[in-house]
């Protein structure tokens, strides 16, 4: 019987579908790890998470099995064993599984019991639920292995404790949300207390489409005593030592306690990691951004430079007759501060061409929003032409407030491959811009100090599609709008519930109607980094054709 077990927490950044590459990275981490007994990687680390319908392909399942068996053979070298997540087929059913690879073989398999089917999770679509798991025996220690959702409610942890587990190990693919770190630690502490066992929580890291995983793995003892915390946003190994004490069972010994990433820093890092992995994993050489002189495009450019480096960011200013001299100056200053190239392409000739082309059809009609939308679409056309020619992906710059109420133009400012502000309300855009002007994340590739002039932050937001236009001509002030939107979207509050908070009833109804009517636009928007619990897309699914509006 052993009295100590050295565990290495492996935060892995997998690419969904790249089973060979993921296996090679896990093998490399195993070789790099300090002497230990067991290396633990996160949920579905071998396939990437979420694999979605890939797991329904026989060829994909066979590849996962082949790479898992190859990794298992490597453990015959006398080095550490591996505990990792992978999709696994048994008796014709595909499971979300944990595999224990030890002494040259697959020594044990456990299946996820509680399959989530809410928000971004559709696991019941592709996986079969497993039974309540038994502990895995490993070198004299009974490992109580849980997979992600199994830890969020009491039954699995209680079952494992009753079955003789000595320690709880939770393999996770837990996507980032603002302040979710506290939620995870609170729930892990609750499971640890209920089972009277230490708990090791191992998370993935990196971006996958709209999801981003922040790592921040940890070990906790009963009473909420944090023993170990791995760095957020970083792939790598963090040690955790389990000790048996006379008559008191097992305890996680104190170790590395990396600083927790919270608040605006965590949101900014999520945007950077999400963008970098989307661009790099999909093989784009860089990005192109329409730099307007406004705060949204300035913040988008800052995130792009911090994620990818200035050489991979191409900015374009596309003035119209309504573009102010201040906007031209501000765009140029943003580009100078960030060190990016800035080209200027006037859309005035295109506007004139469309005006002449459509004159016979529009004869006798006064200009209206059609002409404004044409300007946005001219800009979209320029950006897509640059993207097609140079291969760089267009970044859209719209924020969540605008997307909520449809303050955007299809095939105009909405065109592009990815949006870092998609789940960021306008008031948070202002806060992030001020934060980045004062702070430089440690992993940032961009400069220290200011990344945009103060005027970009303080001037009234405007699309500059007509003379003297501001956003507040057609929208409530953003501090009011965002509070109402958060209640309607994140809290699913009714109109009466929002009004009861002291907001004007007519304004609330108008915002709700704009939110409802813009669903068709959001369905055609590019993916973007998930920040809130109710990001547009898989988190919030409403019908486009929707008669309920007329009933309320």
**Those residues with Cβ within 8 angstroms of residue 331's Cβ, 6 or more apart along the chain or in another chain:** 291, 292, 293, 297, 315, 317, 342
> Looking at the annotation, which residues are catalytic?
43, 112, 148
End residue of a domain, out of 471, 496, 523: 471
Are both 315 and 257 inside the same structural domain? no
Are both 241 and 296 inside the same structural domain? no
Query: Is 439 domain-assigned?
Result: yes
Q: Which of 231-235, 369-373, 395-399 has the lowest mean pLDDT?
A: 369-373
303 has a pLDDT exceeding 90: yes
Count the Cβ atoms, other than its own, within 10 Å of residue 473: 11
65 has a pLDDT exceeding 60: yes
551 has a pLDDT exceeding 70: no
Q: Which of 132-146, 308-322, 470-484, 520-534 has the lowest mean pLDDT?
A: 470-484
261 has a pLDDT exceeding 90: no
End residue of a domain, out of 414, 442, 471: 471
The maximal CA–CA distance of the chain, rounded, in angstroms, is: 92
Strand 199-203 to 393-396 pairing: unpaired
Query: Is 248 domain-assigned?
Result: yes
Q: How many domains does the chain have?
A: 2
pLDDT at 537: 86
Question: Based on C-alpha coordinates, what's the Rg of the chain?
Answer: 26
- pLDDT average, residue stretch 285-297: 96
End residue of a domain, out of 238, 261, 284: 261
Give the torsion through C-alpha atoms of 543, 544, 548, 549, to 10 deg. 140
Nearest-angstrom CA–CA distance, 105 and 173: 25
17 has a pLDDT exceeding 80: yes
Is 446 in contact with 338 (CB distance < 8 Å)?
yes
pLDDT at 473: 67
Range of the domain at 97: 4-261
Are both 155 and 294 inside the same structural domain? no
pLDDT at 13: 97
Query: Is 482 domain-assigned?
Result: no
DSSP-assigned letter for residue 170: E
- pLDDT average, residue stretch 299-326: 96
404 has a pLDDT exceeding 60: yes
> pLDDT tens-digit profile of 426-482?
999 999 999 999 999 989 999 999 999 999 999 877 666 777 767 676 788 999 999
Structure tokens at 429: 């855009």
Is 399 in contact with 421 (CB distance < 8 Å)?
yes
Are both 248 and 329 inside the same structural domain? no
Q: Residue 412 sits in a domain of what CATH number?
A: 3.40.50.620
Long-range contacts from 223-228, C-beta under 8 angstroms, 24+ separation: 223/189, 223/193, 224/185, 224/189, 224/192, 224/193, 226/185, 226/257, 227/198, 227/251, 227/252, 227/253, 227/254, 227/255, 228/9, 228/200, 228/252, 228/254, 228/255, 228/256, 228/257
Strand-pair partners of 250:
244
- pLDDT average, residue stretch 3-8: 93
Mean pLDDT of the chain: 93
Are both 172 and 282 inside the same structural domain? no
Are both 323 and 357 inside the same structural domain? yes
Nearest-angstrom CA–CA distance, 346 and 325: 14
Tokens 């236009």 correspond to what residue?
A: 469
Are both 357 and 257 inside the same structural domain? no
Query: Is 314 domain-assigned?
Result: yes
Nearest-angstrom CA–CA distance, 295 and 300: 8
Cα 116 to Cα 47, 120, 375: the distances in Å are 18, 9, 44
- pLDDT average, residue stretch 288-309: 97
Q: Does residue 152 or residue 34 have the better pLDDT?
A: 152
Query: Is 478 domain-assigned?
Result: no
Is 26 in contact with 12 (CB distance < 8 Å)?
yes
Query: Is 139 domain-assigned?
Result: yes
Give the torsion through C-alpha atoms of 204, 396, 266, 174, to 10 deg. -30
Give the H/E segment covering residue 187. helix 180-195
Is 96 in contact with 111 (CB distance < 8 Å)?
yes
pLDDT at 428: 97
348 has a pLDDT exceeding 90: yes
Nearest-angstrom CA–CA distance, 378 and 2: 70
pLDDT at 1: 57
401 has a pLDDT exceeding 80: yes
pLDDT at 552: 56
pLDDT at 260: 85
Structure tokens at 373: 């939308």
Are both 256 and 277 inside the same structural domain? no
- pLDDT average, residue stretch 35-54: 95
CA angle 339–345–349, rounded 5-degree value: 170
Are both 240 and 308 inside the same structural domain? no
Residue 154 phi/psi, 5-degree rounding, is -70, -30
310 has a pLDDT exceeding 90: yes
343 has a pLDDT exceeding 90: yes
Q: Is the dihedral of CA 230, 231, 234, 239 positive or negative?
A: negative
Q: Distance between terminal CA atoms of the chain?
A: 67
Alpha helices in 242-368 (DSSP H): 263-281, 295-308, 325-338, 348-362
> pLDDT tens-digit profile of 193-212?
999 999 999 999 999 999 99
- If we measure between CA atoms, which residue out of 547, 550, 536, 534 comes closest to residue 177? 534
Are both 406 and 449 inside the same structural domain? yes
- If we measure between CA atoms, which residue out of 313, 319, 348, 346 comes closest to residue 331? 319
Are both 18 and 105 inside the same structural domain? yes
pLDDT at 353: 96
Q: Residue 54 sits in a domain of what CATH number?
A: 3.60.110.10
- Percentage of residues of the chain with pLDDT beyond 70: 98
Query: Is 502 domain-assigned?
Result: no
pLDDT at 239: 94
- pLDDT average, residue stretch 534-543: 87
Structure tokens at 71: 């990794």
Are both 153 and 9 inside the same structural domain? yes
Give the H/E segment covering residue 172. strand 167-172
Q: Which of 349-353, 381-385, 473-477 has the lowest mean pLDDT?
A: 473-477
> pLDDT tens-digit profile of 106-146?
999 999 999 998 888 889 899 999 999 999 999 999 999 99
Tokens 């708990």 correspond to what residue?
A: 199
Query: Is 537 domain-assigned?
Result: no
pLDDT at 212: 96
């Amino acid at each position: 019987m052993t009295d100590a077990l050295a565990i290495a927490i492996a935060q892995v950044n997998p690419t969904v579908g790249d089973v060979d590459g993921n296996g090679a990275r896990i093998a490399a981490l195993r070789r790099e790890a300090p002497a230990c007994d067991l290396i633990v990687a996160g949920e579905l680390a071998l396939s990437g998470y979420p694999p979605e319908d890939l797991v329904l392909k026989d060829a994909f399942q066979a590849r996962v099995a082949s790479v898992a068996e190859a990794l298992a053979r490597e453990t015959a070298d006398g080095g550490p064993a591996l505990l990792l997540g992978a999709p696994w087929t048994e008796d014709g059913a595909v499971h979300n599984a944990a595999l224990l690879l030890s002494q040259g073989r697959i020594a044990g398999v456990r299946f996820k019991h509680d399959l989530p089917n809410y928000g971004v999770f559709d696991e019941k679509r592709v996986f079969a639920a497993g039974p309540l798991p038994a502990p895995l025996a490993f070198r004299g220690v009974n490992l109580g292995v849980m997979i992600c959702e199994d830890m969020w409610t009491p039954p699995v942890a209680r079952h494992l404790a009753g079955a003789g587990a000595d320690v709880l190990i939770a393999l996770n693919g837990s996507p980032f949300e603002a302040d979710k770190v506290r939620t995870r630690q609170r729930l892990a502490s609750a499971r640890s207390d209920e089972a009277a066992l230490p708990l090791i929580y191992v998370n993935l890291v990196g971006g996958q489409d709209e999801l981003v995983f922040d790592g921040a793995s940890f070990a906790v003892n009963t009473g909420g005593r944090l023993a170990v915390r791995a760095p957020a946003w970083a792939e790598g190994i963090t040690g955790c030592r389990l000790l048996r004490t006379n008559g008191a069972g097992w305890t996680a010994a104190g170790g590395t306690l990396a600083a927790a990433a919270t608040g605006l820093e965590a949101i900014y890092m999520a945007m950077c990691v999400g963008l970098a992995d989307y661009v790099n994993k999909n093989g784009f050489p860089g990005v192109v951004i329409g730099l307007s002189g406004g705060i949204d495009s300035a913040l988008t450019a800052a995130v792009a430079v911090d994620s990818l480096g200035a050489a991979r960011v191409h900015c374009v200013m596309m003035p119209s007759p309504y573009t102010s001299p201040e906007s031209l100056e501000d765009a140029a200053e943003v580009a100078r501060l960030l060190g990016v190239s800035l080209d200027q392409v006037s859309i005035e000739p295109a506007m004139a061409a469309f005006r002449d082309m459509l004159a016979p059809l529009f004869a006798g009609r006064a200009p209206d929003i059609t002409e404004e939308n044409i300007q946005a679409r001219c800009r979209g056309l320029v950006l897509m032409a640059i993207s097609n020619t140079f291969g760089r992906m267009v970044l859209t710059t719209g924020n969540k407030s605008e997307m909520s109420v449809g303050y955007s133009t299809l095939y105009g400012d909405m065109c592009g491959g990815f949006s870092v502000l998609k789940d960021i309300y306008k008031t948070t855009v202002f806060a992030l811009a001020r934060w980045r002007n004062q702070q430089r994340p440690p992993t940032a590739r961009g400069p220290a100090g200011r990344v945009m002039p103060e005027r970009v932050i303080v001037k009234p937001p405007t699309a500059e599609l007509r003379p003297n236009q501001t956003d507040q001509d057609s929208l409530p002030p953003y501090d009011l709008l965002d509070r109402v939107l958060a209640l309607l979207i994140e809290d699913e509050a009714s109109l009466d519930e929002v009004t009861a908070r002291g907001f004007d009833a007519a304004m609330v109804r108008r915002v709700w109607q704009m939110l409802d009517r813009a669903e068709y636009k959001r369905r055609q928007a590019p993916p973007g980094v998930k920040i809130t619990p109710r990001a547009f897309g898989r988190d919030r699914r409403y019908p486009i054709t929707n008669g309920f509006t007329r009933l309320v």
